[in-house]
Structure 1
Amino acid sequence: MAGEEKSTMQVNIVASDRPVWSGTARSVTIPASEGGMGILPDHEPVLTVIREGVVTVTEAEGTQHSFNVNDGFIAFDSNKLTVAVERGSQLKDGQQD
């Protein structure tokens, strides 16, 4: 459905030495340098520094993926989010209640 496509965004999480995760999501929370930040589809373009913490990706059906990340940055534009970090690793997967 066209409406369903618009309610998601493409997400790529990459570490300096490897890709960490790639897929579509309905929301992503990040540890921005100024504090926690949420990104939703159709968000205004943004480029910001992130600090060490956890990035949480929620897929369209509700599955959540959490990633421990080190310093880096995010870039969001045209429903494409790139999270580029020094180091990143997946913590766990789970279903949203």
Structure 2
Amino acid sequence: MAAEKTTMQVTIVASDRPVWSGLAASVTVPASEGGMGILPNHEPVLVVVNSGQVVVTDAEGARHGFNVEDGFVAFDSNKLTVAVEHCSDEVSAEQAA
């Protein structure tokens, strides 16, 4: 039986629509105190999000980038929620690097 990779459930929502949901290996967010990386099993956190880019590395290693504005990030029990006022459609993998 192969060992499972450690992942977390991620949900990104904008005020007008759901944006992305799935399992992720890591997420970086433009927190008010500066860029912040979140990995599975991170301690619980609630932070304000500034304008910038959220980058999700999914369970398969693919990167997904989203330009966001004004919101918050909450993480607890291996579930990450990114709730923002505005979010662009997914940007290309090159821009998410």
CA distance in 2, matches of 1:74, 1:3: 29
Superposed, which structure 2 residues align to 1:1-97 within 5 Å? 3-4=3-4, 7-89=6-88, 90-93=90-93
Q: CA deviation at 1:38?
A: 0.3
TM-score, structure 2 as length reference = 0.90
* Stretches (4+) displaced over 3 A: none
RMSD: 1.5
AA in 2 matched with 1:78: S
Unaligned runs of 5+ in 2: none
CA distance in 2, matches of 1:3, 1:45: 25
CA distance in 2, matches of 1:8, 1:41: 5
Count the aligned residue pairs. 93
Distance 1:32 1:2, change over 3 A: farther
TM-score, structure 1 as length reference = 0.90
CA distance in 1, matches of 2:65, 2:22: 13
AA in 2 matched with 1:19: P
When you count helix as a share of all residues, which structure comes out higher?
Answer: 1
Deviations 1:38-78 (A, max 9, x none): 00000000000010000000012210000000010000000
